[in-house]
Amino acid sequence: MSAPAQTLRSDNRRELILESAAELFVRHGYGGTSMRDIAKATGMLSGSLYYHFASKEALLLSVFEEGVRLLSDAVDHALATSPDDPWERLQAAAQAHLSVLLDGSHFAQVVVRVLPGDAPGAQAELIALRDQYEARFHTVVDALPLTPDTDRSVLRLMLLGAMNHTPVWFQPGRATPAQLARHFIRNLRGTAAP
């Protein structure tokens, strides 16, 4: 028989490190967070982290991968269960993105907050992960019925920029991520008074 309990507890420990690191990376940035800070938040000594992760950059990469995974799964699921209307599909994707980004989990915020240039050794991997995720919005925006003079790349990057900026000003008490997604999409379809 296998011993899943033991394996589970070890995974929990590893995940606790990831969560602590994600929260600190979001709050103080990558360069502003030390391995000792992460260790203290996890309740261990700094050297013990290296049993689970080979380096600080490897730890960042794991946090980043978890963030991208959360975002990708949410958007994929939203698109799979979404109707055919192109604008509704974009709104569903935006809502999934904003929900993951703003509802507690710090992993997704690391993807948005930490720029690849902060960790030169992992720069290429970070960029690849981000691009691989954002490709989903490329597809959805391409399906939009737009006036011919509308630049779809600009529209896509505009929406991504607006969404990725929300952690700076979002306050849990006010609008929900879903309401924000509706506002964002409606604003892109047209806000001028008749």
Partner DNA sequence: CTATTAACCAAGCAATCGTTTGCTTGGGGA
Partner DNA sequence: TCCCCAAGCAAACGATTGCTTGGTTAATAG
Q: Residue 145 corresponds to which tokens in the numbers above?
A: 């019925």
Q: Is 99 in the site for its own copies (CB under 8 A)?
A: no
State how far the Cα of 4 lies from the Cα of 10, in Å rounded to an integer: 10
State how far the Cα of 129 lies from the Cα of 119, in Å rounded to an integer: 14
Q: Name which of 4 and 145 has its Cβ closer to its own copies.
A: 145
Contact residue for DNA among 6, 147, 171, 191 (CB under 7 A): 6
Measured CA to CA in angstroms, residue 88 lies from 60, 95, 116, 141 at distances of: 34, 10, 32, 11
Q: Is 57 in the site for DNA (CB under 7 A)?
A: yes
The 10-49 site mask, x for binding DNA (CB under 7 A), equals: x--x-------------------xxxxx-----xxxxxxx
At a CB cut-off of 8 Å and minimum separation 6, what does 2 contact? none
Q: Is 9 in the site for DNA (CB under 7 A)?
A: yes
CB of 72 to its own copies, least distance (A): 19
State how far the Cα of 69 lies from the Cα of 80, in Å rounded to an integer: 16
Contact residue for its own copies among 113, 129, 136, 137 (CB under 8 A): 113
10 binds, among DNA, its own copies, none (CB under 5 to 8 A by kind): DNA
Q: Which of 79, 177, 63, 55 is nearest to 113 (CA)?
A: 63
Q: Is 117 in the site for DNA (CB under 7 A)?
A: no
Burial (CB < 10 A; 0-12, 13-18, 19+), residue 19, is middle
9 binds, among DNA, its own copies, none (CB under 5 to 8 A by kind): DNA
**Positions in the binding site for its own copies (CB under 8 A):** 27-33, 87, 113, 115, 117-118, 120, 144-147, 150-151, 154-155, 157-166, 168-169, 175, 180, 183-184, 186-194
